[in-house]
A and B are shown apart, each in its own frame.
Chain A
């Protein structure tokens, strides 16, 4: 080995002396036995989560179901790689707990068995520099393609949309932990946007080979935090988040020993990592085309689709407009049950305590009754308004949410319970609006009793809509 002075490499403290060593070429280096075995396991494990979808017929089915003339943000997840799902355990432990990792355990088992066989067949090889390069590429691009939706639905804040008035009037004790965690971002869109840009930074850093290690570190830190939060808050997306975190860790792993040597052991360090040179013209072009394709679809197109969605049909918020000018919180001045006037009471299981109309076509009211909580967490990207349940999922407290369709000529409202556990409840009300802030509803309630409800809109200011310096007094009804 020869040493030569090479000013301009790097230094920590002065004085600095620069020595350049000649390296063994990384593709000629001999790996340790255990490194070879662990790499085989890791290679198989990550292959399952990054490229195995290419052998799944269902992937192509959904891929070709995309309507190119009418693209939607839903279509992005049809293009992006998906993991494997051998079994689903439908118990709380299977959804939230350790058992939810069952597919990971299966994949890991297969990988270990596979790696053992591979070790026997391919015993003479000295290293896997080529494969290690390409599996890193696969992990990097898988993460990019899978988090694009989360990134851009935060940058154009629609993943945590503004809360409905109905949600806002629920008491804190009536929310599930997951819902409180999730809605933390709903009332501060600027923070949601900030986090979106942090995720965009992960995508961008992973997109380039040089900065991939920073992307990996950021994915581990940020998405790892999300994975832990999803565990403690029972958020149900811990699997995906955990995969992105260990994917980031996997990329970081190739650098970490060197960073550790440099910073902690304070030794001289050479990185000396293999990367495929792409020398042939064909290879070069293929690389450019693939890279450009990912950029075009998962950065540019994805950004556009999410912007369009945010502007025109924010996917968690029902699209159909509500009765004009009705949005607000209503006191229930009168409540008639089968012709009998019921007085105000917070303990009554039939009499409404208050009612709320939204900008969109949802009517909610509160009664004092045990009700089932539905917990699809308002996830997914539903087509129909009645299925867009972000406003009602994960909340108790005797609150009933109805989707309605109003016939403004005949002044009737058809209502459908948004809670999937009460899907049978559908009502018909006659409504009229004697004045701007008054609504009267008449019809049969869910127990087929005839009710007449006189609602008066209340005008109040609420703390949550203000920054502290703006306002400290909040008037009452």
Chain B
């Protein structure tokens, strides 16, 4: 409803109507920016739409819904693979998108010489950008706010030397050990997203996204984190959103001059416009802010480790290898032996890792998409080199047999079938054929450990390692 009232004194300026005219440079820049942003913001990927229309809303998980908000990025005109994903070449698609934008803007400029300005189009492309970035950063933030993006280290990682971890892994573990910090980071990301969803707080939200994601881009470069391009997309779009506010902020706080506020927004006067606007807002908020939070908070178990595949009951822990028999011969402990096991870790899930002095290839992928099977959830050993060999097991608890497969994709050919026997709660006796078809017999004894990292300042209060063996 439009009321006809006399404008108040403070809105004086709005009465002065001047024809809006953009210079040709402004018009060309806008056309290029528009085409560029369209490429970044609208998914041109048939896979995306296939997923969207095959959504099973009844059995929705936060992974699927959150993935919808976070996953798609710049168009893939050229597939970047191999060593290129780490270097400057990984940004090639953004370059191509820019080229396309300039070419189309050129054609557009030739074809359209009449338009005086693009106020409305500018407004609408920024609306799309705001919502796109907001829902993305909120979904990203939720994974930290309910801390699961960086999970606390597994027992295997606690027993891996610092030197055997890659940069990215160490960086993530440093966040994972302190949920309080992860929650703080998640809170900052969600707050930035919420700011972007309101027209009035857009500038604050965009600035916050730019600061947070800018830092993530740098960190992903220095720690080989692999999501630098994706984060850069977000930071770039946030910068474009912020752009129109910058001159005013600069003039106010740096040049200390007076600034007139004047924001263009199309009027939503007609009934259908109002309903449409409110409806879209309510629907998108309900799905990506509230429903996603509901899904995530009702499934707070992490997704990096195979939590859905519980290991043998009461087996989790660190084990020393008391006896190791190979083909009927007892082999004494040695850190140099390439066959004898040095220690064994049972996780809470179906992973058994063995420390052996034998080379393995490092699995270097860092992706948000973990597989669904226990074997395919590879996070726990990605980015780690050295001597701890991860095996996933399937247990036949009736016949007491473990079927073990090496979790490292490069060594999947290594399989073992071992009968197990637990004479008491702390002991495992494993017998069978190892990955080289040698018959082995291994006696494991659990060692209770308290880790300095877990006892926190309690260990300092006593000024003591609580580690007992």
Interface residues of A, Cβ cutoff 8 Å to B: 3, 6, 9-21, 92, 96, 163, 165, 167-177, 180-181, 183-184, 187-188, 190-191, 194, 210-211, 213-214, 221, 228-229, 231-234, 255, 258-259, 261-271, 273, 331, 343-347, 353-354, 368, 370-375, 395-398, 421, 462-464, 466-469, 472-477
Contact = CB atoms under 8 A, between A and B. Distances in A.
B456 A265 contact: no
Interface stretch (B245-253, B301-309, B436-444): B245-253
A396 B467 contact: yes
B83 A469 contact: yes
B222 interface: yes
Contacts of B263: 12-13, 266
Contact of A172 (B162, B255, B338, B359): B162
A172 B252 contact: no
Contact of A473 (B160, B258, B359, B459): B359
A269 B203 contact: no
A11 B13 CA distance: 12
A346 B333 contact: yes
B174 A464 contact: no
Contacts of B174: 180-181, 184
A176 B384 CA distance: 20
Contacts of B456: 176-177, 234
15 contacts: A9-B251, A12-B244, A13-B119, A170-B161, A191-B223, A232-B184, A234-B457, A266-B200, A267-B10, A344-B334, A398-B467, A462-B164, A464-B164, A468-B224, A477-B335
A397 to B, nearest CB: 6
A11 B253 contact: no
Contacts of A476: 338, 357-359, 387
A264 B465 contact: no
A172 B157 contact: yes
Given A11-B262, A271-B257, A469-B83, 8 more contacts: A170-B162, A172-B159, A173-B159, A184-B170, A262-B249, A263-B204, A368-B469, A475-B359
A259 B253 contact: yes
Interface of B: 10, 12-13, 16-20, 22, 83, 86-87, 117, 119, 153, 157-168, 170-171, 173-174, 177-178, 180-181, 184, 200-201, 203-204, 211, 218-219, 222-224, 244-245, 247-249, 251-264, 320, 332-336, 338, 342-343, 357-359, 361-362, 364, 383-387, 449, 451-454, 456-457, 459-461, 463-469
Contacts of A396: 452, 459, 465-467
A194 B153 CA distance: 28
Contacts of B466: 370, 396
B461 A462 contact: no
B262 A15 contact: yes
Contact of A169 (B16, B161, B201): B161
B332 A344 contact: yes
Contact of A10 (B10, B260, B342): B260
A347 B170 contact: no
A177 B182 CA distance: 13
B461 A92 contact: yes
A318 to B, nearest CB: 20
Contact of B253 (A163, A214, A234, A421): A214
A16 to B, nearest CB: 6
Contacts of B260: 9-11, 16-19, 268
A180 B177 contact: yes
Nearest to B460: A375
B80 to A, nearest CB: 13
Contact of B258 (A181, A268, A346): A268
A357 B25 CA distance: 65
A171 B158 contact: yes
A176 B245 contact: no
B210 to A, nearest CB: 11
Nearest to A463: B385
B119 A229 contact: no
A101 to B, nearest CB: 17
B261 A266 contact: yes
A210 B256 contact: yes
Contacts of B254: 210-211, 213-214
A372 B222 contact: no
Contact of A474 (B252, B338, B385): B385
B362 A474 contact: yes
Contact of A395 (B83, B224, B364, B452): B452
A19 B12 CA distance: 10
Nearest to B462: A372
A214 B249 CA distance: 11
A169 B204 CA distance: 45
B362 to A, nearest CB: 5
B321 to A, nearest CB: 9
Contacts of B180: 231-232
B361 A473 contact: yes
Contacts of B387: 476
B380 to A, nearest CB: 13
A15 B264 CA distance: 9
B367 to A, nearest CB: 14
Contacts of A375: 460, 463
Nearest to A474: B385
Nearest to B318: A173
A362 B80 CA distance: 46
A16 B359 CA distance: 68
